[in-house]
Amino acid sequence: MGYFRELPNVEYQSFLSDSLSSQSYLTVKNLFRRNKLRDDLQNVFTIFDKYEIIEGARPDTVAEEYYGDAELDWVVLITAGIINVRDEWPLSNRELYNYANEIHGNSLNSVRYYKTTEVKDSLGRLILPKGKVVDGNFTIPKPDTSNEETATLNPVIGVSNWEYEVLKNNKKSSIYLLKINYLQQFLNDMRDIMVYQKSSERINDKLIRTENTRVSMPV
């Protein structure tokens, strides 16, 4: 079930130079007719499976592996909430390096920001969690020291531009896919959405005809 095959059609008046008359019509797919997951299902986590996109996988290969049909790549994208594949789908290692190198150039290994490392006292109690974004000169009092002592720690590590891009890309690898048990209902809902309702423009369930808004032939 290819996505574009399911889109309904629109006939609109053609003003192409080789048209036989002003009554000639072109038939095109209605790209403004978009499918989405039903609002009442968006937050029902039990109908989704968490899925990790492996290195080099594409939406069609994920659809083939998970649903058994590469043409259901659009289901993968819709249920994962992905609109712009170029920006929201994880890059391969080679693509990521080329992208990061183009963006950062000679500063690829420069520190982008600093984050904390985990600090515990001698009893194993957590003093500072790891991963908090801080300044490079961030300090805390050293655990297990007396009030008279002024020893401090600088529990931070630098995160380079390259590491930042890797972390950002890795986050894109975790998506949620609609469970197979709910797939047919989703496809049925999609077909219902693609049916035109009764109107003056409706020719049939999958076709409407609309007049070109221009009132005269172009020169």
- For the chain, the average pLDDT equals 82
Q: Read off the pLDDT of each residue in 174-183 and give the average, rounded to a whole number.
A: 92
Per-residue pLDDT for 214 more than 60? no
Q: What percentage of the chain carries pLDDT values higher than 70?
A: 68
Residue, of 78 and 53, whose pLDDT is higher: 53
Per-residue tokens: 170: 């890795």
Per-residue pLDDT for 156 more than 90? yes
d(CA 216, CA 22): 9
H or E segment to which residue 187 belongs: helix 183-193
Per-residue pLDDT for 71 more than 70? yes
Amino acid at 96: L
pLDDT band at 87 (very low <50, low <70, confident <90, very high): very high
Predicted model pTM: 0.69
- Among 119, 89, 114, 14, CA closest to 99: 89
Plot region of 105 (φ>0 → left; ψ -120 to 50 → alpha; else → beta): left
Per-residue tokens: 108: 């690829």
Taking CA atoms, 173 is separated from 16, 51, 57, 67, 162, in Å, by 45, 8, 10, 18, 17
Per-residue pLDDT for 172 more than 80? yes
